[in-house]
Amino acid sequence: MAKHILAPTKIESVGNKPKEILEFFGAVNSQSSELSIAKMNSPAGWEEPFQTPEFDEYTIVLKGEMEIITSNKTYCVKKGEAFLATKGEKVKYTTPKGAEYMAVCLPAFSPQKVHRDE
């Protein structure tokens, strides 16, 4: 069935600084557990704890750059580039200089499935 999303829902972020998360599709805005799509506006110096999610996360950087840290390597993902973190992979997202990006999670993001380090 077709669905017209009139506006995203603002979701509370996790990390050392406030980050804007606008969910277009997902558990909150479209009541979907199959997929989530959100736009992020992340300030310079933002970081969140390591996580080992139960979903694949596809990230596309629209502005700025991100530093994405895995168990094996640190990646600098710049405007126009993308990154895939596969489910079960330990990963940490940071934006040392700030970034705007889209995140697609398959299946949809949920706090119960992200498994953040404390």
Domain map of the chain by residue range?
16-114
Residue found under tokens 């599709």: 25
Tell me the whole-structure pTM to 2 decimals. 0.95
Residue 97 CA, chain-centre distance (Å), reads 17
Residue-level pLDDT, tens digit, the chain, 118 residues: 899 999 999 999 999 999 999 999 999 999 999 999 999 999 999 999 999 999 999 999 999 999 999 999 999 999 999 999 999 999 999 999 999 999 999 999 999 999 999 7
pLDDT at 118: 79
3-class SS at 2?
coil
Q: 76 — phi, psi (to 5°)?
A: -105, 110
Q: How far is CA 61 from CA 54, 72, 95, in A?
A: 22, 21, 11
CATH superfamily, domain at 16-114: Jelly Rolls (2.60.120.10)
Distance separating alpha carbons of residues 59 and 82, to the nearest angstrom: 5
Cα three-residue angle 47-40-36, rounded to 5 degrees:
110
Give the C-alpha separation, 13 to 1, whole Å: 30
